[in-house]
Amino acid sequence: MIELFLSQLLNGLVIGSVYALIALGFSLVFGVANLINFAQGALLMLGAFFAFTLIQWGLPIVVAGLLSIAATAAVGMLVERLALRPLRNAPAIAPLLSTLALAVIADAGAELIWSAESQPFPSPLQSFVVFVGGAFLTGVDIATFLVALAVMGGLMLFLSRSWTGRALRATAQDPEAAAQMGIDVALMRQVAFGLAGALGALAGILVAMYYQSVFPQMGVPFGIKGFAAALLGGLASIPGAVLGGFLLGIFENLASGYVGEGSRDLIAYSLLLLVLMVRPQGLLGTGRLEALGGVAGASGAIPTTSIIASLGGATARTRNRVLQPKPWMVLAVIALAALVPAIGSAYVVQVAAGCAVFAMLALSLTLLSGSAGVISIGHAALFGFGAYVCAILARNHGWPPAAILPAAAFGTAAMAALATLPAIRLTGHAVALATLAVGQVGYLLFLNWIELTRGPMGIAGIPRGSLFGLSMQPLDRQYWLALGLLALCYLVAHRLLESPIGRTWRAIREDRPAAHAAGVPVLRYLVLVAATSGLIAGLAGAQFAWLQAFVSPDSFLLETSIVLIAMVVLGGMGNIAGAVLAGVLLALLPEALRAFDEWRMIVYGLVLLALLRFRPQGLGGVK
Amino acid sequence: MIQRRSVMQGIAGIGLGAGAVALLPQRVAAQAGTVKFGFFGPFTGQFAANGQRFREAGELFLEQANATGGIAGRRLVVDFQDDRGDPLQSTNIAQRYVADAEVVAAIGSFTSTSSMAAGQVFAQAKMPQVSPTSSHPDYTKISPYQFRMPNTQDIVAELNAELMVNRLRTKRIALPYFQDDWGIFVAQATKAEIEKRGGEVILSEAMTQQARDFRAMITKIRAARADGIFIASHYAPSAVFMQQLRQAGIDVPVGGADPLYNPEFLRLAGAAAEGLVCTTYFFPSDPSKATFTEGYKAKYGREPDQWAAFAYDAIAIAAEGAKALLAAGRPLTREALRDAIDALPPYQGATGVTEFVNGTPRKPMTLLVVRNGSYQLYT
């Protein structure tokens, strides 16, 4: 069916040009500020809604579009002002969390302002259709493609020819040297964010025209895909972002055409993983110091995994007070927490048990991402794996908890080692992409492998069984089991981190080549940390399955992975006590803020921003 | 600098403080003269468009009920909670209701996953739960405490298939479905019924949850020479699907599942919606539904949709159960309320007549066609 191929190729080029625009936004910001801007999807959505409102006020679409692009560029600069600038001296990954907080605020704000409904967006060009054989193109497709190409060309000219463009690239290559040459580095960062905002708005307007509608959630998939496209191209490379965008667009449209719409993303992410194995630096992300890449790009950091290095900023005013309680203190707090059922209602116990599960997850991820420096944006898949192991064994095979716990723990540990294997061989930002892809593939398998997981229907009625002759049915006992597991995992993690193993993990994080040169079998240590992390995540998953008595893919979205990374950053990278604290706090917050009603998520974002503002190294301090 | 920092600390402090207060067990003095329900759904997040309709309908009923003398003289109180479509939050909410001794029934949620996660808690606590929308077959199997307002999909599928095969006279049918439990069940059941009637499903593909680009599927539908299409999906993606379908020049007859009866669908799809035939439980032009339809329009300034109607009926039927108990002079407990809801005579609501058999009704449905930009009865 040549018709299908041609049609999918054309669709891929059109959608790919939108991905490329978003990827360019990611690349610009990453190049200049060494920061992954999670608010990029939100900027896209805002751009579309600004244009929508202006059109409703009676402005012609082109004028509305231009004004919206300007306004979104201003919002982009505001993101820099709020998310990046106050955190200059924080660990390099901290601003990632503040962009996430801003994205949460923007999404919730859009629902309040424009309502959650999809609303029609005028698209005059849409009725113009050209048939190319059996395939067809609409006026919007052609406009999208041409506008995107023109903007990309213009951007490259701007970066290579204009003074500001050169200053931007200089800032990307070496901010300190650039500053000494008289470049206003702070201004350049703002310019990069402004450009990212403008690109996001443009993409948003094009998407709105393509869908002929706007809705608050519209930025989410494009944020993820744009990020993946940027990583695929080689995060800091401008031509790479464009290529990555087009390739991703074509990939997924061909997958959709030949395998089926339902497996579109599954195939797109699996292919991404494959590309990564062959070209870990991204397609065009070579060591060449071209475009925005520069030194920062070539070292391929997300940002650098070294926490010490990123703390040693020029103005080291930050105090890194590290929270390092003795293990008995943590155990004492957990023991105190065990008294909750005596004073609180079942609701409080349920919430507290959820907090314990998320504390375990944060603990598990801080080992991998904090101590060993393998930033994972796919941890929810391991959590889900543990939960599904428990659900299937308990529900379909009647296994008792005493058998399920080790099965979930070691099964997930093996899975983690296996799933992290492609990521571990990679360095820098490629790790983030690999884990993102693994996380998405995991989620999509939960969703699509209906024979095993029952897909979106979920698995209900998971029996809690009995442990050591004690029925685990009562909620209080589930809570105590969760606390017990948390205490156990904490002790194990603490022992490991205090031992030479933990020191080796931190050595690998700080300087992998040096560790390697010193004779450390890096790969073996990384597999070990992945397995340990997976073991804890598996226990958390099993506990979650019993607690809910119901599992469905909805609990293991990318959103969950991002919240987990947020917990690790908020806790202080590599600080297990901090991770437990942050895990409890971030799991508690959405419940605790119920009084704010529809403002709940906005307050959630504000609290995150504020916490980060006065403890940039995280609550526990980095370790 | 110092000032700003203290402001930020203030925000953090207020947030955490408010949180701590919110978590404290609520010991409001028990009011003898009230009936209290819990009402939860995704008021924010991915499904907020549906969840907000729920909430509006719930608040409308609350207002109307209390304006007309409450429930057998008692004032109705409703605790609205947002679950964001997240099963974890819905179990938390369920425990919250269970812990509040005054709450005698819970209404919610929108997604089957949230309804079922919460259902496990309600079943244990023996609290009746009425879900306005969950069509998942397993939902009412959790316990006798679960009720739902829509038919199960095997009932709906008979009508879907009859529409496609007998009314629209199509034989080679494409069946795109939304990738959630509802869409999967509709597609499975409708396919079986179509085949029973001698039709053929030549293509059945999932629309992923956030997808709005269906051209690949449309190209395949054209290549497979389908002579009819049945859409088992929600209104927003379906509107985009219809536009892309008509753009591609495919003008075969299209039938749709009940979510396509929605004023927003017409706004979004515009001319591309013309000629579509869909099933529905609820048609507001029907004069017998005026209390709901007129009340909703007056309060919110827009037409209600089917989700609002379901939510309105769900809370109304729980209230009806409480009224029956109180009128009989019996104490209003959770278990007694379950039995009262189960034993209610056929209830005439906005979505038709509801009579529960094992928690599930069997309601008649209507066929509507889109003509000249509005829905009309299809005859």
* Radius of gyration from C-alpha coordinates of chain B: 22
A-to-B residue pairs, Cβ atoms closer than 8 angstroms: 247
A450-453 long-range contacts (CB < 8 A, ≥24 apart) are A450/B184, A452/A388, A452/A392, A453/A388, A453/A392, A453/A553
On whether both B104 and B168 belong to a single domain, the answer is no
B37 vs B321: CA distance, rounded Å: 12
CB contact under 8 A, A136 and B85: no
Average pLDDT rounded to a whole number, residues B351-377: 88
Write the residue in B138, B208, B239 that is nearest to A460 by C-beta.
Answer: B138
- Percent pLDDT > 90 in chain A is 40
Q: Which of B93, B212, B234, B250 to mutate to test the interface with A (most CBs of A within 10 A)?
A: B212
Q: Which residues from B are below 8 Å from A129, CB to CB? A: 247-249
Structure tokens at A485: 């597991």
pLDDT confidence band for A308 (50 / 70 / 90): low
Q: Is residue B13 part of a domain?
A: no
Average pLDDT rounded to a whole number, residues A10-31: 90
On whether both B160 and B272 belong to a single domain, the answer is yes
| Interval A160-186: pLDDT, tens | 899 999 999 888 888 888 889 899 988
Write the residue in B84, B121, B206 that is nearest to A262 by C-beta.
Answer: B206
Write the residue in A136, A461, A555 that is nearest to B142 by C-beta.
Answer: A461
Last residue of a domain, one of B253, B280, B307: B280
Q: Which chain B residue's Cα is nearest to A105?
A: B45
Q: Is residue B379 part of a domain?
A: no
Q: Which of A44, A248, A543, A594 to mutate to test the interface with B (most CBs of B within 10 A)?
A: A594
Task: List the CATH number of the domain containing B80.
Answer: 3.40.50.2300
Cα torsion angle, B192, B193, B199, B205, sign? negative
| Interval A392-423: pLDDT, tens | 999 999 899 999 999 999 999 999 998 877 77
User: Would the pLDDT of A34 be above 90?
Assistant: no
On whether both B44 and B145 belong to a single domain, the answer is yes
For chain B, positions 304-363, list CB contacts with chain A under 8 A.
none
Which has the higher per-residue pLDDT, B16 or A149? A149
B27 sits in which H/E element: none
Contact between residue A545 and residue A394 where contact means Cβ atoms under 8 Å apart: yes
Q: Which of A267, A457, A581 to mutate to test the interface with B (most CBs of B within 10 A)?
A: A457
| Interval B137-182: pLDDT, tens | 888 989 999 999 988 887 889 899 999 999 999 999 999 999 888 8
Contact between residue A446 and residue A541 where contact means Cβ atoms under 8 Å apart: no
Q: Which of B50, B56, B111, B113 to mutate to test the interface with A (most CBs of A within 10 A)?
A: B113
Nearest C-alpha neighbor of A197 from the set A69, A86, A107: A69
Contact between residue A240 and residue A234 where contact means Cβ atoms under 8 Å apart: yes
On whether both B258 and B333 belong to a single domain, the answer is no
Tell me how close the Cα of A462 comes to any Cα of chain B, in angstroms. 10
Q: Give residue B138's pLDDT.
A: 85
For chain A, positions 13-32, list CB contacts with chain B under 8 A.
15
Structure tokens at A481: 């089991």
User: Would the pLDDT of A200 be above 70?
Assistant: yes
Tell me how close the Cα of B152 comes to any Cα of chain A, in angstroms. 14
On whether both B166 and B72 belong to a single domain, the answer is no
- Percent pLDDT > 70 in chain B is 91
Q: At what angle do helices B153-161 and B181-196 cross, to 10 degrees?
A: 50
Q: Give residue A465's pLDDT.
A: 86
B202 vs B174: CA distance, rounded Å: 6
- Percent pLDDT > 70 in chain A is 91
- Mean residue pLDDT of chain A comes to 86
Tell me how close the Cα of B206 comes to any Cα of chain A, in angstroms. 5
| Interval B56-110: pLDDT, tens | 999 999 999 999 988 988 999 999 999 988 899 999 999 999 999 999 999 988 9
Q: Is residue B11 part of a domain?
A: no
pLDDT confidence band for A300 (50 / 70 / 90): very low
Q: Give residue A313's pLDDT.
A: 41
Looking at the complex, does the CB of residue A302 fall below 8 Å from at least one CB of chain B? no
Q: How far is CA B46 from CA B89, B181, B259, B312, in A?
A: 14, 16, 16, 22
Identify the weakest region by mean pLDDT among A14-18, A86-90, A184-188, B247-251: A86-90
Q: Is residue B121 part of a domain?
A: yes
Number of domains composing chain B: 2
B119 vs A297: CA distance, rounded Å: 51
DSSP summary character for residue A591: H
pLDDT confidence band for A66 (50 / 70 / 90): very high
On whether both B164 and B135 belong to a single domain, the answer is no
pLDDT confidence band for A523 (50 / 70 / 90): confident
On whether both B176 and B265 belong to a single domain, the answer is yes
Last residue of a domain, one of B261, B280, B299: B280
B255 sits in which H/E element: strand B254-256
Write the residue in B21, B43, B210 that is nearest to A598 by C-beta.
Answer: B43
Write the residue in B49, B91, B210 that is nearest to A116 by C-beta.
Answer: B49
Q: Which residues from A are below 8 Å from B142, CB to CB? A: 460-461
Looking at the complex, does the CB of residue A220 fall below 8 Å from at least one CB of chain B? yes
Q: Give residue A594's pLDDT.
A: 87
User: Would the pLDDT of A30 be above 60?
Assistant: yes
Q: Give residue B20's pLDDT.
A: 53
Q: What is the ipTM of this complex?
A: 0.84
Place of tokens 């070294």: A306
CATH numbers and ranges of domains, chain A:
2-307 (1.10.3470), 343-614 (1.10.3470)
Cis peptide before B109 (omega within 30 of 0): yes
Burial label, B20 (beta-carbon count in 10 A; 0-12, 13-18, 19+): exposed
pLDDT confidence band for A310 (50 / 70 / 90): low
Q: At what angle do helices B87-99 and A346-365 cross, to 10 degrees?
A: 150
CB contact under 8 A, B181 and A457: yes
A295 vs A166: CA distance, rounded Å: 15
Q: Give residue A113's pLDDT.
A: 92
Looking at the complex, does the CB of residue B216 fall below 8 Å from at least one CB of chain A? yes
Q: Is residue B127 part of a domain?
A: yes
Q: Is residue B207 part of a domain?
A: yes
On whether both B297 and B341 belong to a single domain, the answer is yes
CB contact under 8 A, A262 and B208: yes
- Mean residue pLDDT of chain B comes to 87
CB contact under 8 A, B270 and A120: yes
Tell me how close the Cα of A37 comes to any Cα of chain B, in angstroms. 21
On whether both B131 and B218 belong to a single domain, the answer is no
Domain that holds residue B219: 153-280
B228 vs B172: CA distance, rounded Å: 6
A396: Cβ contacts below 8 Å, ≥ 6 apart: none
On whether both B171 and B267 belong to a single domain, the answer is yes
Q: Which chain B residue's Cα is nearest to A592?
A: B19
Pairing status of strand B34-41 against strand B75-82: parallel
On whether both B214 and B314 belong to a single domain, the answer is no
Q: Is residue B22 part of a domain?
A: no
Looking at the complex, does the CB of residue A120 fall below 8 Å from at least one CB of chain B? yes
Q: Which residues from A are below 8 Å from B251, CB to CB? A: none
Identify the weakest region by mean pLDDT among A2-6, A429-433, B143-147: A429-433
Q: Which of A347, A361, A564 to mutate to test the interface with B (most CBs of B within 10 A)?
A: A347
| Interval A582-607: pLDDT, tens | 999 999 998 888 888 888 889 989 98
Average pLDDT rounded to a whole number, residues A29-41: 83
Looking at the complex, does the CB of residue A458 fall below 8 Å from at least one CB of chain B? yes
Q: Give residue A420's pLDDT.
A: 76
Q: Give residue B27's pLDDT.
A: 42
Write the residue in B8, B45, B99 that is nearest to A347 by C-beta.
Answer: B99
For chain A, positions 474-533, list CB contacts with chain B under 8 A.
475
CB contact under 8 A, B49 and A460: no
Looking at the complex, does the CB of residue B98 fall below 8 Å from at least one CB of chain A? yes
User: Would the pLDDT of B29 be above 50?
Assistant: no
Q: Give residue B30's pLDDT.
A: 43
Contact between residue A531 and residue A417 where contact means Cβ atoms under 8 Å apart: yes
Instruction: Dump the DSSP string for B212-274.
Output: ---HHHHHHHHHTT-SEEEEBS-HHHHHHHHHHHHHTT----EEE-GGG--HHHHHHHGGGGT
Which has the higher per-residue pLDDT, B212 or B277? B277
Looking at the complex, does the CB of residue A118 fall below 8 Å from at least one CB of chain B? yes
Q: Is residue B116 part of a domain?
A: yes
pLDDT confidence band for A37 (50 / 70 / 90): confident
pLDDT confidence band for A427 (50 / 70 / 90): low
Write the residue in A126, A256, A600 that is nearest to B82 by C-beta.
Answer: A600
On whether both B263 and B164 belong to a single domain, the answer is yes
